[in-house]
Each structure stands twice: as structure tokens, then as C-alpha cells.
A and B are shown apart, each in its own frame.
Chain A
């Protein structure tokens, strides 16, 4: 197929609607258009909805950028910043900017947005009178707010109230003037408007309703506002937020059909076949829009048409309103005027400041106003949109979804209510719409597939729950997260079944496991092989020959691989204690091998970073001469036992925590565990060794040793649970060892102790370790047995020549030819 020359797409305006349109277009028809954008504002595309948080100081401008400069470069877009288009020549098919740049187009998209409405009163042009529309306005307000003087906001609608709240938060004395009897009368009924006014006044903002501005007073600069009734309100800043009107002048000058906005059909087409319009400047079906959801819908439709799909059509839907003022919750959607044939259900709780009103017509919700408690907003809106007959649940409807006896509580409701652009995975920046469309588009049915295709929850995993809910939402019955998750794609069996069968069938090699348990692949994968290797090491310590080729590189070469392919080396410092001779040896190694970075770790160790793989054995040899062994900082195994200085030095210490920590570490080093195992011993409840967020921790007290476990301070933060109190060091060691062995035998590979404990149940663990002396002893004995085979220093083995092949290139070739 011959390369098609890209068509020229010119866009006037760089707001959220055209930004979204381009995102959709680049997905639907990559490379089809060469895009040029003229932006009257001298900046990239940012999230205008978030201007209020910027004003109030809850966000920075950088945080609300949607497309940074890199995005434009990546998509080959020419962006003229600060260029306002002054003329469209439809015959020549060109546009010209105020800086004299002329561009020709095949397709033109007008997205000029809207302009704030300025009430035509004397003094409207004075210095200090501004509108609230873009970042420049916010910056002007922030500058004015530094004076801490008086401000007047004209307009008690959404934007006006957000501006007032922001200015008040910045320290200004703010008065809101509103021409109607109640605030936000277009979105709220009078009762909710009244509650809102009380809440706004509660923040120290004065509200004057039925306030008609007669003129703005001042010589050069604004000094105050005079109302119809003669009252004068002093102010050094006046913000007009009385509404917007579509910015359609340019289109009108070009001879396009313009009514309130630029008239477009349901496909966003203007009266000129090569020109489209979308966003706040467009009028579709006789309506103009100012909220983001319908504007994004326009963007979707426009992108489809540009990509060649002529069927996409814009459909009107009611958009819920939310006020972005922290601490004030209100939600409204639909039609809530009184009228014939309409009924209402109202709930008021004056003490709690809650007001809910549902407007019904023919047993269907047509309007909803919620104030103070808005969690059911999405559900009511859903009933409204679907036109659900609510006769059956009418008695309890107002109490919300949780009170509908018949319908089971749907845990996915919250996720269902999220907008498509809501970010689900923060690590990879994946939004809900992308996940849902990929699931349906590619027919995905498992979490792994969703991770592979969208990257959602593929990094830190903390959004896995949300992703799973989206999957149930999208696939319905087709997705059952409760079903046993197979270990990997090589088997249908889950980890627990595999562990059970290894013991039951006496399987003692990886090939035996794969053969007997009918693995689907010839030699497994990078997920199952390390898991199987661990299970076999754990279950048959004396018989199983560790398969190094099934270990992750770090455990294979006993160092931590870094992003540049070098390694880090952490020697063991028992209990975090060292001395001058050890430090000198480390310093010598640093000098000899030009170690780029020496860093103290969170586990009270010293980390040498940036060591070439080939140097590892020599580094270990030098460290070994000083008595160092591997710190196993790379292992799914015992890592470190942190300690405080305890009774030996500390005036608060109750026991020798340093000594106990060293004793535990010397007893347990070298053991492999399902996931890494970090410990700490604190000498008193002040807990300087931070033992209460460790996998296993000890808090020494006068009466003995309190053993803790199942803490976490990584992706999850979790304080430990108390296993129990024991009197002596010997008992403490026995209990800790037994607990570790129970975890080693039961947990799934890579499952940290807190996740295992949650699955097994804390009481069950306490019963077996604290109460059942026989069980405890058996666990202890099995651990001690396995240590006979595990406590071999891997570094000295390799210094003596083991696994030589790992640390040398196989050959060095070709350099002579290259020199020719």
C-alpha cells in the first residue's frame, strides 16, 4: 500500500476539548493528519477544571498540565503558543494569526471556547476588575490576594463560589454578590442553596443575595461596588463570574452559521463541510455546554468523524454538578423545578447538615439534589439515566443504595461511578476508559492480560483491586476474581495446590513437578520456576539440589542488579554493628574498585553500588578477608535484623536488644523464605529500631520480650500484630524461628508475611506458635535442620571458584576487524 500524505488538520484553540479530541484521533487514525494548533494562551493544554484548586493553593500549575511539551513533540504537532487567529479564509482554506502566521488546512477545527460575560455597568474597565477563566486570571487573583485586602466576587454560581473560597483561603476578605435569591439556583433548589450559603458564610465569606450591581466605583483602580439599593461595598479586587458566552465571533466573521454558539450538527460539522467546531463555542441541538463531560463527548464524536467514522453522533445527557470547594459536598443532576405531575422525596437532617431531594415523574427519577452527603449521587444518576421504575423501592429510595434490601450491595458501584478519565493506575498513568476499552477491544479476561496490555496495576500493584472491579464491571459473569489464580500461564493450579501436591506426591525436582502436575510448557517460565525452586528448597532441604538457572539473577550471583547492569554489594553487619577494621576494609574496597556510591541502607547496612559483574568475586575476596559474609540483601530470605543499643548503653533500655538481634541474625542467616524477611529488636517500647513495622519484630519490656509480626512499610504501611509475650531470650528465639518456619512452609512465593498472616488468620498463627508447644517445637526443629544446608556463605564459595562462568564473558571477539 502506498504511503498516504497526511492531511493538514488545523485547530484553533488548545483547551481540554481539542486536547481530548487529538488523543482519541491519534488512537483511531495514527499518522493520518499533520496537526497544527494555534493557542491564544501562551502555554500547553492544562486542566481548566483544576484552576480552583490552584487558586486555593491545593495544587500547582505543573500538576494540572494535561499535555506537556513532550506530547506535542511526540505527535509531531506544531503548536503556536500565544497566537490568536484573526481570520479564516474559507476559499483559500487558510487561517491567519495576529502575529501574521498563515497556515493552510484540509480540515479545520474551531475550539475557541468561551469568553466570560462582563456585566455592562460603569467602571467595568477599571484596573482590578477581572474575570475567572484562565491561568492568567488565577495569577492576577493570587497577586491581588497578597494584599490581604477586600475582594468582591460578582456571581454566586459554581465558578464564583470557587473563586470566593480560593480568595478567602488566600487571606482576602471576600463578599459574594448574587443577583438571585439563593446561590447556584440553576443547579440547586432553594433549600440546598440556603444550606450552601450557610456553609459558605461559615468560612468567613459574606454573601449578599438579590444584589444588583449598579456600578463599579473607582478612579483608575477599583475601590468598591455600588448596589441598586445604594449600598457601597469596598473592594480592591472585583471578580466577575456571572457566566460565559460561546466565543463565536471568528466563525461569524468567516460566514459560518452562528446562533448562540457556532451551529454544528450531531457530528460536530459546521455549515462548511471542511470546518468542525467543538467545545464551549459549539452549539449542538440548540444547546451550548460548559461542563467537561459533554465537551469530552463532543471530542470523541469529532475524532471519530476525522478518523472517517461518519456515524458517531453527539447525544445530550444531563451532567451532574459538583462544587470543587474542599469540605462542601453537593451534587445535583437533572430537572428539579416544581411542576405538574411531579412528586418529590425529601430527607433533611439539620444537625448533620444533610439535605437530599429526589424529583420524580411517573415513578422515575428526573432530578436529584444532594447536599452534605453525596455518595449515592452516582447511583441516583444511574437510575435517572436508565429511567428505572422505582415503585418497588420507593419507601427506602432516599436512603440510598445500601438500603435497598432486594438488590445486593454492589461493591463496584463506586468504580462504576468514576468518569472515564479517572486515573486508576498512578504509576503508569492509565485511566478507567483506557482499561475498559482495552478489555472489550481485545477481549481480555484475566488480570495478567489486562496488566500486559494496559500496564494498569503492573507496577506497584496497589490499584489491583480497582482494576479487578473494573474487570467484573466490564465482563460481568465472565470474570470471577475469587477463582483460584493459577501460578502462571504454565499451569491451571494455584500456589497452594502446587505446594500441597509437592509434599503429597513427594516431588523433588522441577521436571518432576512439571511432569506430574501436567505443566503446559516444556520448562516453565520466569514466574513459576523461581517459585517451584523455593518450594523444593523449603520442603526437601537435604535432598533437593538448588537449581540456580531457576533463580532470579540477584540470587544467582548474590548481588543486586541495577538499572545499568552493574551490581550492588551489601556485606552482613550483624545487628547493624560494625567496627574500625570492617569500615577500613570497606573503605579500601571502595578505593580499589572505584565504587561510585556508598550508601547506608534502611536496614542498618552499608551498600556499595555500581560494581561491575566481573569485579564481584574480587570485591567479595577483599571483603571476606576482613571477615565479611554476604548480607543477602538480594535474597527472598532473611535480610537484616535492625537493633537499637538497648540496655548496654541506653538509659531506657530494658534488655540487651543489640545482643538479641545479633543472636537472631546469626541463627537465621542464610535461610530462604517466600519473600524477603526483615526483622528488628527494640530495647524498650520507645522502639528506636522501628520493630513495629517489620515482618517480625521484638519489643523488649521489663517483664520479657513482646514478639510482633506481620508489619509492613513498603507498598503497604501496616503496624505489626502482637504474637505474644515471652520471658527469656531463648524462648523469644524459639518462637521467632517457629513462626518463620510456619511462614516458610505455608506462604505462596513472593507473599510477604503480613499477607500470609491475613490469609491464614492471626488467631490460627497464635494458636500454633504460642499455645501449641509441640507444634512450635516441630517447626523449630525443621528450621534448624534446613539451616544445616543453608548456612554456607555464597560469597566465599564463589571466591573459591564456584560458578566461574557467571562472572566472565565467554569470549571477546571482533575488536581487530573493527580497528581496520
Chain B
């Protein structure tokens, strides 16, 4: 996998998120209370809300626009809502974060 450096885990607040801009749109990188890191598309499956701006709780985020709750692990909407966003491989190497973008580039080329 082609890992691309995006910064340090400390760049992201605990229970927070930051955006990474890529050719196919923004990716939201999350850091949970337990210091886990997840990356998903920054685009709610409901109406495209920026998930990176939502409140992070457990391993989920609540979309700021209409309160859909999205699992950071699977990208799937939790509760009764149905829909999913793509998850992006992310690696935490002693605090340095990397994402694997080749899948994305591939997807963009399709």
C-alpha cells in the first residue's frame, strides 16, 4: 500500500477531527477519546454534511447537519438510518499518521 503522511496524531484534538484535502474530495481523520484514529469520506450519506465538523463520541460521529450517526469503523450509518461512507486505510506510526490514497486515486480514475 502507498502510505501518504498527513501529520501527527497531536494535530487532531481528542474526540475531534481534521480534514485532509485530496483530488476526490475531503477526507475526515478522527481521533477518539481512546486515541484511536479513523479516516472516512467527509461527506454524510444523507445530505452530504461535513462529518469532520460533527461531535465525536465512542467510535462514531454525529453529522452536524441532521444528526445522522456514522460509525467511524465501518462508515455505516448507525441506528435506523441506512447509508454508508467509504472508509480510508489509516496508519498510526508512533504518532505519525498516514493514509493510503491509491484506492482513492483508482476510484477517481474509474
State the A residues within 8 Å of B (CB).
449, 452-453, 521-526, 529-530, 548-554, 556-557, 561, 563, 565, 805, 809-815, 817-818
Contacts and interface: CB of A to CB of B under 8 A. Distances in A.
A545 B67 CA distance: 26
A810 B13 contact: no
B21 A549 contact: no
A561 B64 contact: yes
Contacts of B55: 525-526, 529-530, 549-553
Interface string B86-107: 0000000000000101001100
Nearest to B79: A452
A561 B57 CA distance: 20
Chain B CB within 10 Å, residue with most, of A529, A553, A809: A809
Contacts of B23: 814-815, 817-818
B16 to A, nearest CB: 5
A115 B69 CA distance: 53
Nearest to B63: A526
B58 A809 contact: no
B2 to A, nearest CB: 9
Contacts of A553: 53-55, 64
B105 A452 contact: no
11 contacts: A452-B79, A522-B33, A523-B32, A523-B58, A525-B69, A549-B55, A552-B64, A553-B55, A554-B64, A561-B53, A805-B16
A814 B4 contact: yes
Contact of B22 (A452, A563, A565, A813): A813
A810 B90 CA distance: 14
A811 B18 CA distance: 9
A809 B19 contact: yes
Closest 7 CB pairs of A and B: A526-B62, A810-B18, A818-B23, A452-B80, A811-B6, A526-B55, A553-B53
A810 B12 contact: yes
Nearest to A526: B62
Contacts of A817: 23, 101, 105
A549 B14 contact: yes
A552 B63 CA distance: 10
Nearest to A561: B64
A746 to B, nearest CB: 25
Given A523-B58, A550-B15, A811-B5, 5 more contacts: A452-B80, A452-B81, A549-B55, A565-B49, A810-B18
Given A523-B33, A549-B14, A563 B58 contact: no
A525 B62 contact: yes
A818 B25 CA distance: 12
B72 interface: no
Chain B CB within 10 Å, residue with most, of A530, A552, A557, A565: A565
A471 B65 CA distance: 28
Interface in B51-85: 53-58, 62, 64-65, 67, 69, 79-81
B29 interface: yes
A452 B79 CA distance: 7
Contacts of B48: 565
Contacts of B58: 521-523, 525
Nearest to B97: A810
Contact of A809 (B20, B64, B105): B20
Interface string B21-59: 111101001001110000000000001111001111110
Contacts of A521: 57-58
Chain A CB within 10 Å, residue with most, of B16, B32, B65, B80: B80
A490 B14 CA distance: 20
A554 B55 CA distance: 11
Chain B CB within 10 Å, residue with most, of A449, A524, A526: A526
A272 B6 CA distance: 69
B47 to A, nearest CB: 7
A619 to B, nearest CB: 18
A816 to B, nearest CB: 9
B21 A811 contact: yes
A563 B16 contact: no
Given A814-B22, A814-B23, A526 B49 contact: no
A813 B6 contact: yes
A82 B10 CA distance: 67
Contacts of A812: 20-22
A577 B105 CA distance: 53
Contacts of B1: none
A316 to B, nearest CB: 37
Nearest to A452: B80
Given A522-B58, A529-B55, A561-B64, A549 B15 contact: yes
Nearest to A522: B58
Chain B CB within 10 Å, residue with most, of A452, A522, A523: A523
A553 B65 CA distance: 10
Contacts of B67: 526
Contacts of A811: 5-7, 20-21
B57 A525 contact: yes
B18 A805 contact: yes
A551 B16 CA distance: 11
A810 B29 contact: yes
Given A522-B58, A561-B64, A809-B26, A814 B15 contact: no
A523 B57 contact: yes
A812 B29 CA distance: 12
Contact of B57 (A529, A813, A815): A529
B62 to A, nearest CB: 3
A144 B50 CA distance: 56
A27 to B, nearest CB: 15
Contacts of B80: 449, 452-453
A166 B64 CA distance: 49
Contacts of A552: 55, 64
A223 B94 CA distance: 96
Contacts of A452: 79-81
Given A522-B58, A549-B14, A553-B54, A814 B65 contact: no
B81 A810 contact: no
Contacts of A563: 47, 49, 65
B19 to A, nearest CB: 5
B4 A549 contact: no
B21 A809 contact: yes
Given A453-B80, A553-B54, A818-B105, A526 B20 contact: no
A556 B55 CA distance: 10
Contacts of B21: 809, 811-813
A189 B26 CA distance: 72
Contacts of A530: 55
Chain B CB within 10 Å, residue with most, of A452, A526, A805, A810: A810
Nearest to B33: A523
A561 B6 CA distance: 26
Nearest to B10: A805
A545 to B, nearest CB: 13
B94 to A, nearest CB: 17
A811 B99 CA distance: 11
A466 B85 CA distance: 35
Contacts of B54: 526, 553
B14 to A, nearest CB: 7
Nearest to B65: A563
Contact of A813 (B4, B14, B15): B4
Contacts of A522: 33-34, 58
Contact of B11 (A556, A805, A814): A805
Contact of B7 (A557, A561, A810, A815): A810
B13 A549 contact: yes
B71 to A, nearest CB: 13
Given A561-B64, A818-B108, A549 B56 contact: yes
